[in-house]
Amino acid sequence: MPSEKIASKGSRFDRAVEIFKDHGGVLRTAQALRAGIHPGTLYALRDSGVIERMSRGLYRLADSQPLGNPDLVSVSVRISAGVICLISALSFHELTTQIPHEVHVALPHGAEEPRLEYPPTRTYRFSGQAYTEGVEIHDVDGFAVRIYSPEKTLADCFKFRNRVGLDAAIEAIRFYKERKRVDVEALMEYAAICRVSRIIRPYLEALF
């Protein structure tokens, strides 16, 4: 009967919405399917406006609270191996006046290049300890986002100074000095990992 079909559709929608809520209101298509949402239900939710497309293959509940940092959330959900780095990490840690127009993401060598329509991303290839060390997990809008620590980010900026600009790295060092809590020892450990100890030391000696 028609009423039974409507009720069945409603129950599928309700279950799907609950699954979205269990995941913070945001799901990749593959996650949604693995969680038991039928493809037809997923696209019906989209077409009816219950969920909205954040980027290719990424959806969120339309009535969710606005995300404070949707770009970092989108990248962390879509690029599981990625770590927020360089200018994006400086911005997160409030160590730069630059406004990042792309999300800078570190990936291990050999990882597939991500294909995101939005937000714009720029990837950097890290290897060994340069990739694994200094990773912090931050709660961003209820999502666990991997971001390099301030000290690791400073070392990375000197390592990639030809790409992000030496001025950005020096500015970040100055902002870092103004913090109540600084860890020069950790900074030099990461500088050694990134092989920029001799480059960064004169700037530290001039400021500290």
What is d(CA 206, CA 187) in angstroms, rounded to the nearest whole number? 15
Confidence of residue 204 (pLDDT cuts 50, 70, 90): confident
Cβ partners under 8 Å of residue 109, min gap 6? 125, 126, 127
**The tokens of 22 are what?**
């269990």
Q: Respond yes or no on whether the N-terminal peptide bond of residue 66 is cis (omega within 30° of 0).
A: no
Q: Tens digit of pLDDT for each residue in 1-23?
A: 444 443 345 688 888 888 888 87
Residue-level pLDDT at 11: 84
Average pLDDT, the chain: 87
60-69, 118-127, 194-203: range with lowest mean pLDDT: 60-69
Residue-level pLDDT at 7: 39
Q: Tens digit of pLDDT for each residue in 148-186?
A: 999 999 999 999 999 999 999 999 999 999 987 889 999
Answer for the pair 172, 157: CB distance below 8 angstroms, yes or no: yes
Residue-level pLDDT at 107: 96
What is d(CA 135, CA 51) in angstroms, rounded to the nearest whole number? 32
Mean pLDDT highest for which of 22-26, 40-44, 171-175?
171-175
Predicted TM-score (pTM) of this structure = 0.75
Cross-strand partners of 27: 59
Domains and CATH numbers, the chain: 2-61 (no CATH), 70-207 (3.30.460)
